[in-house]
Each structure stands twice: as C-alpha cells, then as structure tokens.
Amino acid sequence: MLHPLDPQSDPFHEWPTRSPLGALTVMLYHPTIYDAVSSALTRLPQSIPTRLSSHPKWLAFIRFKEICERAYGSTPRNMTSLCDNLQHSTMGVTHPDDARSAQCSQCCSAVYCSPQCQQHDWKIHRDECGARYIDRIYQRADRAWFSHRTRGMLLQLLQAFLEDFCDNFQDPREAL
C-alpha cells in the first residue's frame, strides 16, 4: 500500500473502494490493531514517512494514531476503573493501584469500583437490575453488547480525544 512502483506517484491514488489507509485509520481504536500498526510503522524505512509527511490522508492517520497512543499509553489497558455509581465522585473512594472493577452478580451489566460504591448504588440499581439483565441478553444476542473491558478502553480513548481537543482548541472569537 505504501510502496508504489513509481516513487513519484501518489501512494494514495483513488482506490475502487475506500482507501485502505482510511479504513486502517478508523480501526486504530482497537488496541490489537493499534499495536500491530505501531509495530509496522517502526519498521518502515524513514524515507516513506518523510515522503508522506505532507499528504493530508497520512497526516490524519498519524494524528489519530497519536491520539490512540495518548489513550493507550496513559493507563494499563486492563486497569481502567469503571463505576456505575452516579455518586462515585462525591464519595471520596480511593483505589489501590491494583483495584479492579466488579460487576453486579445478578444483571452483569452494572460495574463498580468498590464494594462501597456497589452498596451505595443498590438503592437505585435494584429497581433497574432485572430490566438490565434482560437488556444484556438481547444485546448479546444482537452482538451489540460491550464488555466492561471494552467500555473502559473506549473511555480511555474518549478521554484522549477530549484532551486533544482541549489542547488544540482555538476560540473562534480570538481570530476576529
């Protein structure tokens, strides 16, 4: 894909379907694909990234890769702490470095960072637990269920996107 026969030709010429680089860009959110792409990029001869450095599709790909790197480099992937307790931030719960989330044993949908948060949330969760159990069954049957690990990974990625946006935000009023 990045080795055209003619070094002067456009490596991103129009493909009959979607550009492979564009397809790869949108798949980078998945850690396994991100790891494979990062590894492959380190093995590219330096002349290729240098030659592509001004191409908009390459720049978009690299920017998205850097955001994923920011997300996946910040916290070990299996250590993201999730908590469905809406009052979590006001409870002052602290987590040891090896804390792992635990899910509700009945519905397997709600996840909590600690027994204290789970007990505190039970007043609200008990009214929805049965319905969430049924929803989870239907979502799994439709292959629409996100595991808690995937939720954590997507939260890490969302946080990285928001941080990138805030870091690069320019108030349009300042341009006037």
- 176 residues of the chain, pLDDT tens digit each: 555 555 566 666 666 667 788 888 888 888 888 889 989 999 988 888 888 888 888 888 999 999 988 888 766 665 666 788 888 877 766 665 555 678 899 998 898 888 888 999 999 999 999 999 999 999 989 988 888 778 888 888 888 888 888 888 877 676 55
Report the DSSP beta bridge partners of residue 103. Answer: 111
Q: How many other CB atoms sit within 10 Å of the CB of residue 104? A: 19
Residue 53 is given by DSSP the state T
Q: What ranges do the domains of the chain cover?
A: 20-74, 79-91+99-148
Report the DSSP beta bridge partners of residue 112. Answer: 102
pLDDT for 113: 84
Quote the tokens at residue 109.
């949908």
Do residues 53 and 61 touch, judged by C-beta distance below 8 A?
no
pLDDT for 149: 78
d(CA 112, CA 84): 6
Exposure letters 140-171 (e unless 16+ CB within 10 A, then b): eeeeeeeebeeebbeebbeebbeebeeeeeee
- H or E stretch at 141: helix 115-141
d(CA 169, CA 85): 31
